[in-house]
Amino acid sequence: MNENISEITERMFATATIDDPVFARQLFLDMESSLPINVRINEIGFQALKEQGVYLAEPNTVYEMDKVFYAGDMAGILCSISAKDAEVSSCDQDDQKSKALVMSLTHLRIDTSHPLATKIREYQKLRSMRLAIANSGRTLKPIKSKKNKKGFGA
């Protein structure tokens, strides 16, 4: 249990079958170095929060992503987003003090002018597609990274 968090994260990238480990790792590092990032929550994200008893006041509110994590195949890239006190309400009165939300990157929208917007949308599209295939009951083979190959078959 003396493992460093980065070692655990690296192992999760290495064993990922839903995400392309090289692409997801690079995006994770790029996002980490670009924090904070302004985001909005998409409709699926709003629905997931409602099911957990968390209600957000305004659907087009801009939130600030202040931390990223990698949760492997279970959730992919997770983002901690902060909300102002007035924006979040919960059924649980004790939970009112906690205003940080952790959401999958696939449930967030990023401004198109952000330098990582294209990479993030590509990640979201690929992850959603691979999750749909996995949920259909078909077996997924791990993704082989697209490296510059030389020789036959390139």
Which pLDDT tens digit goes with each residue over 36-61?
999 999 999 988 888 988 877 777 88
Residue 77 lies in a domain: yes
Is 60 exceeded by the pLDDT of residue 3? no
Beta-bridge partner residues of 88:
56
The answer to whether the predicted template modeling score (pTM) of the entire model surpasses 0.75 is: yes
User: Domain containing 101: what range?
Assistant: 5-135
Residue 45 lies in a domain: yes
Strands 63-70, 88-90: pairing is unpaired
What residue type is 30 in one-letter code?
A: D
Residue 147 lies in a domain: no
> Hey, what are 95's tokens?
């939970």
Tell me how many domains the chain contains. 1
Residue 105 lies in a domain: yes
Which pLDDT tens digit goes with each residue over 106-138?
999 999 999 999 999 999 999 999 898 888 877
**Secondary structure (3-state) at 117:** helix
Residue 146 lies in a domain: no
Residue 66 lies in a domain: yes
Residue 36 lies in a domain: yes
Measured CA to CA, the distance from residue 64 to residue 55 in angstroms comes to: 17
Residue 113 lies in a domain: yes
